[in-house]
Structure 1
Amino acid sequence: MSTSLGQACTPDTFSPSIGGTDILSLEATPITGYNATVTAGSRFTAPDIDLVNAEFCNVTIQYTHANDSNHVITVEAWLPLHRDWNQRFLAVGGGGWNAGRSDFGRLAMSGAIADGFATIVTDAGLGEAADPSEWALVRPGEVDMINFRNQAYQALEDEALFGKALVQDFYGAAPSFSYFNGCSQGGRQGLLLAQRYPDLYDGIAAIAPAIYFTELLPYMAWGQQLMNERRQYPYACEIDAITAAALSACDGLDGVKDRLLSRVDECLATFDPHSMINKNIPCAQTEQGQMDITKVAADLVEEVWRGMPIMRNNQSSIYPGVSPGANLTGTDALPMLLGTACADGTCFGNLGPLAEGYIKYFLAKDPEAIFDTSMTREEFLDTIVARSREEYGAILDSSDPDLTAFHASGGKMVTWHGLMDPLIPHRATEDYYNAVAGISPDVQEFYRYFEAPGIEHCTGGPSQVPTKLFKQLQAWVEEGVAPDASDVQVKVGCATHERILCAYPKRAVYQEDCGDVSLAACWTCQ
Structure 2
Amino acid sequence: MSTSLDQACKPGTFFPSIGGADILSLEAIPVTGYNATVTAGSRFTAPDVDLINAEFCNVTVQYVHTNESDHVISVEAWLPPHRDWNQRFLAVGGGGWNAGRSDFGRLAMSGAIADGFATIVTDAGLGEAADPSEWALLRPGEVDMVAFRNQAYQSLEDEALFGKALVQDFYGTGPSFSYFNGCSQGGRQGLLLAQRYPDLYDGIAAIAPAIHFSELLPYMAWGQQLMNEMRQYPHSCEFDAITAAALSACGDLDGVRDGLLSRVDACLATFDPHSMVNTHIPCAQLEQGQVDITKAAAGLVEEVWRGMPIMRDNRSSTYPGVSPGANLTGSDAVPVLLGTDCASGTCFGRLGPLAEGYIKYFLAKDPEAIFDTSMTREEFLDTIVSRSREQYGALVDASDPDLTQFHASGGKMVTWHGLMDPLIPHRATEDYYNAVAGISPDVQDFYRYFEAPGIEHCTGGPSQVPTKLFKQLQAWVEEGVAPDASDVQIKVGCATHKRILCAYPKGAVYQEDCGDPLKMVTSSS
Supply the AA of the counterpart residue of 1:517: S
Aligned-partner residue type, residue 92 of structure 1: V
Alpha-carbon distance in structure 2 between the residues aligned to 1:218 and 1:241? 25
CA contact (8 A) 2:453 2:508 kept: no
Matches of 2:10 and 2:455, distance apart in 1:
43
Q: Distance in 1 between matches of 2:508 and 2:205?
A: 21
**Is 1:2 paired with 2:7?**
no
Secondary structure class of the residue paired with 1:385? helix
**Superposed, which structure 2 residues align to 1:231-380 within 5 Å?**
231-380=231-380
Q: What TM-score does the superposition give when structure 2 sets the normalisation length? A: 0.98
The amino acid of 1:426's aligned partner reads H
Partner Cα separation in structure 2 for residue 285 and residue 40 of structure 1: 34
SS in 2 for 1:68: coil
| Alpha-carbon shift at residue 333 of structure 1 (Å) | 1.0
Corresponding position: 1:495 with 2:505: no
SS at match of 1:507: coil
Residue 507 of structure 1: how far off its partner (Å): 1.3
User: In structure 1, what is the Cα distance between the partners aligned to 2:413 and 2:510?
Assistant: 27
- 2:21 match: 21
CA displacement 1:117-162 (0-9 Å, x = unmatched) = 0000000000000000000000000000000000000000000000
| Pairwise CA distance, 1:251 | 0.6
Q: 2:398 is paired with a residue of what secondary structure? A: coil
- Secondary structure at 1:254 match in 2: coil
Name the SS of the counterpart of 1:491 in structure 2. Answer: strand
Q: CA deviation at 1:508?
A: 2.8
- Give, in angstroms, the shift of residue 516 of structure 1: 4.9
Compute the displacement of 1:67 (Å). 2.2
In structure 1, what is the equivalent of residue 523 of structure 2?
A: 517
Matches of 1:513 and 1:240, distance apart in 2: 31
> 2:394 & 2:522 partners in 1: Cα distance?
50
User: How big is the shift at 1:285?
Assistant: 1.2
Match runs of 1:362-401 below 5 Å: 362-401=362-401
Deviation string, structure 1 residues 4-44 (Cα, Å, up to 9, x no partner): 11100000000001110000000000000000000000000
- Cα offset, 1:514, TM superposition: 9.0
CA contact (8 A) 1:93 1:181 kept: yes
- 2:433 is matched with 433
- Contact between 2:452 and 2:508, CA under 8 Å: does it hold in 1? no
- Alignment pair present for 1:412 and 2:412: yes
Alignment check: 8 A CA contact 1:499 1:518 kept: no
Question: 1: distance between equivalents of 2:49 and 2:3?
Answer: 27
CA positional deviation for 1:515: 6.4
- Alpha-carbon shift at residue 344 of structure 1 (Å): 3.5
> Are 1:340 and 1:350, in contact at CA under 8 Å, matched by a contact in 2?
yes
After superposition, the CA RMSD in angstroms is 1.1
1:48-59 → structure 2 map (5 Å cutoff)? 48-59=48-59
Q: Report the 3-state secondary structure (helix = DSSP H, G, I; strand = E; otherwise coil) of the residue aligned with 1:201.
A: coil
**In the TM superposition, what is the alpha-carbon distance from 1:517 to its structure 2 partner?**
1.1
- CA shift, 1:66, in A, is 1.1
| Residue identity opposite 2:228 in structure 1 | N
Contact preservation (8 Å) 1:332, 1:350: no
Shift of 1:513: 9.7
Match for 2:523: what amino acid? V
The structural deviation recorded for 1:201 is 0.1
Mapped pair 1:423 → 2:423: yes
What is the CA distance between 1:68 and its match in structure 2?
A: 1.1
Q: Tell me if the contact between 1:496 and 1:518 (Cα under 8 Å) persists in the aligned partners.
A: no
Whether the 8 Å contact between 1:255 and 1:510 is mirrored in structure 2 is no
Letter in 2 for 1:438: G
Tell me whether 1:125 sits opposite 2:131 in the alignment: no
SS in structure 2 at match of 1:346 = coil
Shift of 1:331: 1.1
**Structure 2: any 5+ residue segments left out of the alignment?**
512-517
Q: What whole-Å deviation, never above 9, does each CA across 1:60-118 have from its counterpart, x for those lacking one?
A: 00000012111000000000000000000000000000000000000000000000000
**Superposition pairs for residues 81-96 of structure 1, below 5 Å?**
81-96=81-96
Change (3 A) 1:9 1:509: closer
| Aligned-partner residue type, residue 261 of structure 1 | L
Looking at structure 2, the residues matched to 151 and 513 of structure 1 have their Cα atoms a distance apart, in angstroms, of 45
Structure 1 residue 107 and structure 2 residue 113: aligned? no
For 2:229, give the aligned amino acid: E
Determine if contact 2:499/2:510 at 8 Å carries over to the other structure: no
- Find the aligned partners of 1:141 and 1:513 in 2 and give their Cα distance: 57
How far does residue 518 in structure 1 lie from its aligned partner after superposition? Answer: 4.8
Q: Please give the secondary structure, in 1, of the residue aligned with 2:252.
A: helix
* 1:375-418 alpha-carbon deviations (Å, 9 max, x no partner): 00000000000000000000000000000000000000000000
1:99 partner amino acid? A
CA distance in 1, matches of 2:519, 2:433: 33
Q: CA separation in 2, counterparts of 1:250 and 1:516?
A: 16
Structure 1 residue ranges, 4+ long, deviating more than 3 angstroms after superposition: 509-516
Figure out how many residues of one structure are paired with residues of the other and give that number: 519
Letter in 1 for 2:396: L
Alpha-carbon shift at residue 345 of structure 1 (Å): 2.2
What one-letter code is carried by the residue in structure 1 that aligns with 2:183?
C
Q: Secondary structure at the match of 1:252?
A: coil
Change beyond 3 A, Cα 1:178–1:513: closer
Equivalent residue, structure 1, for 2:210: 210
**C-alpha contact (below 8 Å) 1:287/1:345 kept by paired residues:** no
Cα gap change, 1:518 to 1:163, in 2 (>3 Å): farther
Residue type of the alignment partner of 1:142: E
Residue 190 (structure 1) aligned with residue 196 (structure 2): no
What does 1:66-81 correspond to in 2, within 5 Å? 66-81=66-81
Q: Work out whether residues 100 and 121 of structure 2, in 8 Å CA contact, stay in contact via their aligned partners in 1.
A: yes
Match of 1:523 in 2: none
Deviations 1:444-467 (A, max 9, x none): 000000000000000000000000
197-206 or 496-505, larger mean C-alpha shift = 496-505
Does the CA contact (< 8 Å) of 2:500 and 2:510 recur in 1? no
After superposition, what is the alpha-carbon deviation per residue over 1:476-521, rounded to whole angstroms, capped at 9, x for unaligned? Answer: 00000000000100001101101110100011344699965157xx
2:99–2:124: 8 Å Cα contact kept in structure 1?
Answer: yes
The AA in structure 1 aligned to 2:231 is: R
TM superposition shift of 1:343: 2.1
Contact persistence 1:498–1:518 (CA under 8 A): no
Unaligned runs of 5+ in 1: 520-526
The code of the aligned residue for 2:61 comes to I
